[in-house]
Amino acid sequence: MQRTTTIIDYSLQEEKIARYAKALSHPIRIRILQFLDRQSCCFTGDFTEEIPMAQSTISQHLKELKEAGLIQGDVMPPRIKYCINQAAWAEAKKYFNEFFQ
Amino acid sequence: MQRTTTIIDYSLQEEKIARYAKALSHPIRIRILQFLDRQSCCFTGDFTEEIPMAQSTISQHLKELKEAGLIQGDVMPPRIKYCINQAAWAEAKKYFNEFFQ
DNA sequence: ATAGTTCATCGCAAATTTACGATGAAGCAA
DNA sequence: TTGCTTCATCGTAAATTTGCGATGAACTAT
């Protein structure tokens, strides 16, 4: 990326919106979130049945959503139960609403 | 990316949200859009004064926003006047509202 | 102990994104 | 014509994203 000079202080709002938007920037992740929203909670296996992609790829998208804070995973051996993180979801909603007026 | 097997039909909604989200996934582009929203319209030079990045980099981000449809550029030699594309903006707003309920 | 299930993570490859400086097109002014 | 301004685009480099198969960790059941 050849980052030579630029250092920019982004506002919290700029950072937050960009971060959440990045998490939403792939159609598979939109599908995962909407699926989660309907089911309330899912195991990884539910997604691999629903979405025709390699299990490892889906796991990677779940990780991206988790790192953005939008979902959380609770260990229930041998499975992992994913739910939407309602607090983060509400925050994202607030920031996007505000952004679009 | 080694795309060997997977072909997924995304819904229009999935595609639209992901596409707009991608455009919003960089804090500089958030800043550009908010700046545009306040000023109603700007020339490229206004951004280069406001944002401490190379002119070519800013131009590239404007291009990304233009390709997503969120802004439009009108040639006013020797400058280019950028405005928010209100129709696309309204559409993005609608999709995000819908997505967040 | 062995075998099966569920899932994250690793290693790799290709594509895309991000950033820069340099260049050049388009137009204006002298 | 020559020179100036404004801006997109090109070329390049580094980082990140996306996707896969393979592996292995963690747990359950036999």
Task: Output the 3-class SS for B39-64.
Answer: HCEEEHHHHHHHCCCCHHHHHHHHHH
Q: Report yes or no on B91 lying in a domain.
A: yes
Q: What is the pLDDT of residues A25-47, one digit of tens each?
A: 999 999 999 999 999 899 999 99
Q: What is the pLDDT of residues B58-67, one digit of tens each?
A: 999 999 999 9
Q: Report yes or no on B4 lying in a domain.
A: no
Q: Report yes or no on A78 lying in a domain.
A: yes
pLDDT at A78: 87
Assess contact for A63 and A26: CB atoms under 8 A.
Answer: no
Q: Report yes or no on A91 lying in a domain.
A: yes
In this structure, what CATH number is given to the domain that contains residue A95?
Answer: 1.10.10.10
User: Per the structure, how many domains does chain B have?
Assistant: 1
Q: Report yes or no on B89 lying in a domain.
A: yes
Q: What is the pLDDT of residues B6-51, one digit of tens each?
A: 678 999 999 999 999 999 999 999 999 999 999 989 999 999 999 9
Q: Report yes or no on B5 lying in a domain.
A: no
Strand C CB-contacts below 7 Å:
A 1-6, 43-45, 48, 55-56, 58-60, 62-63, 73, 78-80; B 1-2, 22, 25-26, 28, 53-57, 60-61, 64, 77-78
Q: Is B13 an 8 Å CB contact of chain A?
A: yes
Nearest Cα neighbor of B60 from B47, B49, B50 is: B47
Q: Report yes or no on B7 lying in a domain.
A: no
Stretch A65-88: mean pLDDT: 95
How close does chain B come to A72, measured CA to CA in Å? Answer: 17
Stretch A74-79: mean pLDDT: 90
**Confidence check: pLDDT of A22 > 90:** yes
**Alpha-carbon span B71 to B41, nearest angstrom:** 10
**Alpha-carbon span A79 to A42, nearest angstrom:** 10
Interface of A with B in 59-88 (CB under 8 A): none
Mean pLDDT computed over every residue of chain B: 93
Q: Cβ–Cβ of B8/A100 closer than 8 Å?
A: no
**Confidence check: pLDDT of A98 > 90:** yes
Enclosing domain of residue B29: 12-99
Q: Quick one: CA torsion of A9, A15, A17, A18, rounded to 10 degrees? A: 90
Q: Report yes or no on B41 lying in a domain.
A: yes
pLDDT at B7: 77
Q: Is B51 an 8 Å CB contact of chain A?
A: yes
